[in-house]
Amino acid sequence: SGTFDTGDVNADNPFCTGPLFELEMVEISPDTIKKYPCDDDEVASINIDQLRASFRFLGLPKAAFPRYLDSHRIAMAFKAFARRELVKSSADANLAGALSSLTDTHSLTVKTPLFPPAVLNLPFEYCLSKLPHPTEQSMIGADGEETTEPVMKLDIMLRAMAPPLCWGAGVGDKFATALVPSTPSSARGPLTIASPNPRTGAPSMGADATCADATWALSNFATDYLLHVIGDGSSQSTPLFLLGMQISGLLDRLRSTAGSLSATSSSMSERKETLKLCLSKCLVVKGHGEDIIVDAELPKDLSRKTVLTEWRKACERIYQRASIKFSTDGFGDGVTSVITDSRCNQHITANGSYERAVRLPVAIRGAKKAGAGSSMSFPLIYTVEDRYVDLAEKKILPKAHKRSYLKRLKNKISALPADAKGVPLTDDSDGKGGEDTMGSRGSFTAAVVGVAAALKGVDMIIGGQCVNVFCA
């Protein structure tokens, strides 16, 4: 056990950002050398959805999937290169089988192609960084479409680095097109659509955007693909023109709010309330639009999955732009908050338990060393309001547990002596207990306050007060 630095190439961590593969000596056996599972005679494309499905059964964290996908991208590229450039005859294959039998070794040690050093030394890290990230790959849609990606062509990469192509000469239109990896596509066309320009950062003012109102133009947030579906709010000729009217109305409200805030010297509390209302409205529009897209009858040439993805991206860009636009010192963009409460220390366990109250002050001490409480952009909050505690106990926890179970557990804990600690608290729906969770008279309160702290953190982020929260 221990912690890993994901940025340390030499870290003993299978998910670090170090090399995707290294050369090492292994013992030759059927267990160490196996046939590559993704075997396809054509080796023309990678099925992203199939890889996602197989990844779920490996028991690895979700953060490891990009590395898993990149390893398959490289493996398929080498496999395709070997089949195109290093083709062996049937006689060579028979000879390899006979030689492996004579030498008492695995047949793959003889059959494995010897790749040229130039291929092994290609800048794979750079090439992979230019491919679509897994978060931009679409899953299997409701209509059964799958996401695929072309296999990297190593032979074309090598030819592109040799004269005359390396001098920028002799590149025909057809060959130049082949050098550019195509966008992952489905039976209904491209699924990964370029983000609009400008992005959610500071807007770039063009010839047709000479005033501040252009900051909130719909074209700054929605792609052409989405605009073709929802329109610009002024026409009813598009399939989902109601969504165009809603999102245009949202942008008009944000435009007027931004103008009023810049024209007046509003207080911090007024600014917080205004931003919270605007961002809440943005989330409502986003959720309402998702419901409409799921239930709407779309033309056959449109992918429901793609429309839904682009709608979410547009709303998220608007949300982020509003958060940045209305931010100020100690509020909004660039602010990280730490939330704690002394009531969480009331969960007192037995000696030697992993869940010990001493961990909380240590965590807060570490946060302080990192700068918590020393600046407006890194506030340290010591109290969770009672309204969040009531919300956690009366509304949130009953969604995860039966009310009868919560009541029985609360009564059991409140009946403990005031000086009790390390008492078995585990209780299932049948009323049978165990000793895998121990605590004290304040354990139930500590658990509820912990949930309340998380609710307060979510409320602060959704309300635009900060970008992330650490609760302890």
Give residue-wise pLDDT tens across range 316-349: 999 988 888 888 888 888 899 999 999 988 888 8
The DSSP call for residue 468 is E
Chain CA centroid to CA 29, Å = 38
Angstrom distance (rounded) from CA 447 to CA 427: 15
Q: Which helix (H) or strand (E) holds 323?
A: helix 304-325
Of 395, 367, 373, which Cα lies nearest the Cα of 452? 395
Is pTM beyond 0.85? Reply is: no
What pLDDT, on a 0 to 100 scale, did the predictor assign at position 289?
92
Q: Say whether pLDDT at 359 is over 70.
A: yes
Task: Report the percentage of the chain scoring pLDDT > 90.
Answer: 19
* Rounded average pLDDT over 30-41: 64
The distance in angstroms from the start CA to the end CA of the chain is: 22
User: Can you read off the two tokens belonging to residue 156?
Assistant: 């074309």
Q: Say whether pLDDT at 105 is over 70.
A: no
What pLDDT, on a 0 to 100 scale, did the predictor assign at position 9?
43
Q: Is the peptide bond before 379 cis (omega within 30 degrees of 0)?
A: no
Q: Is the dihedral of CA 85, 88, 89, 90 positive or negative?
A: negative
Residue whose tokens read 């490996």: 58
Of 3-17, 18-32, 281-295, 409-423, give the range with the top mean pLDDT: 281-295
Q: Binning pLDDT at 50, 70 and 90, where does residue 93 land?
A: low
Query: How, if at all, do strands 148-150 and 380-381 pair?
Result: unpaired
What pLDDT, on a 0 to 100 scale, did the predictor assign at position 90?
44
> Angle 197-203-205 (CA atoms, 0-180°, nearest 5)?
90
Angstrom distance (rounded) from CA 243 to CA 235: 11
Q: Binning pLDDT at 50, 70 and 90, where does residue 160 land?
A: confident
**Phi first, then psi: what are they for 80, rounded to 5°?**
-65, -40
Rg of the chain over all Cα atoms, to the nearest angstrom: 29
* β-sheet bridge partners, residue 439: 423
What pLDDT, on a 0 to 100 scale, did the predictor assign at position 87?
56
* Rounded average pLDDT over 13-18: 51
Angstrom distance (rounded) from CA 28 to CA 249: 67
User: Can you read off the two tokens belonging to residue 469?
Assistant: 């929260």
Q: Is the dihedral of CA 16, 21, 27, 28 positive or negative?
A: positive
Residue whose tokens read 């010897």: 114
Q: Which helix (H) or strand (E) holds 269?
A: helix 268-295
Angstrom distance (rounded) from CA 83 to CA 153: 11
What pLDDT, on a 0 to 100 scale, did the predictor assign at position 133?
74
Which own/partner pairs from 113-122 qualify as long-range (CB within 8 Å, at least 24 positions apart)? Answer: 113/82, 113/86, 113/88, 114/86, 115/78, 115/81, 115/82, 115/86, 118/158, 119/78, 119/81, 119/154, 119/158, 122/154, 122/157, 122/158
* Rounded average pLDDT over 261-265: 63
More confident position, 418 or 469: 469
Angstrom distance (rounded) from CA 348 to CA 418: 11
Residue whose tokens read 């690895």: 60
Task: Report the percentage of the chain scoring pLDDT > 70.
Answer: 69
Chain CA centroid to CA 300, Å = 30
Angstrom distance (rounded) from CA 24 to CA 46: 27
What pLDDT, on a 0 to 100 scale, did the predictor assign at position 233?
83
Q: Say whether pLDDT at 193 is over 60.
A: no
Of 126-135, 151-160, 347-356, 425-434, give the range with the top mean pLDDT: 151-160
Q: Binning pLDDT at 50, 70 and 90, where does residue 431 land?
A: low
Q: Is the peptide bond before 14 cis (omega within 30 degrees of 0)?
A: no
Q: Binning pLDDT at 50, 70 and 90, where does residue 179 land?
A: very low
Chain CA centroid to CA 471, Å = 21
Angstrom distance (rounded) from CA 380 to CA 338: 5
In tens, the pLDDT along 107-153 reads 666 666 778 888 888 888 888 888 877 765 554 444 456 778 888 98
For the chain, the average pLDDT equals: 76
Residues 438, 423 contacting (CB under 8 angstroms): yes
Q: Say whether pLDDT at 91 is over 50.
A: no
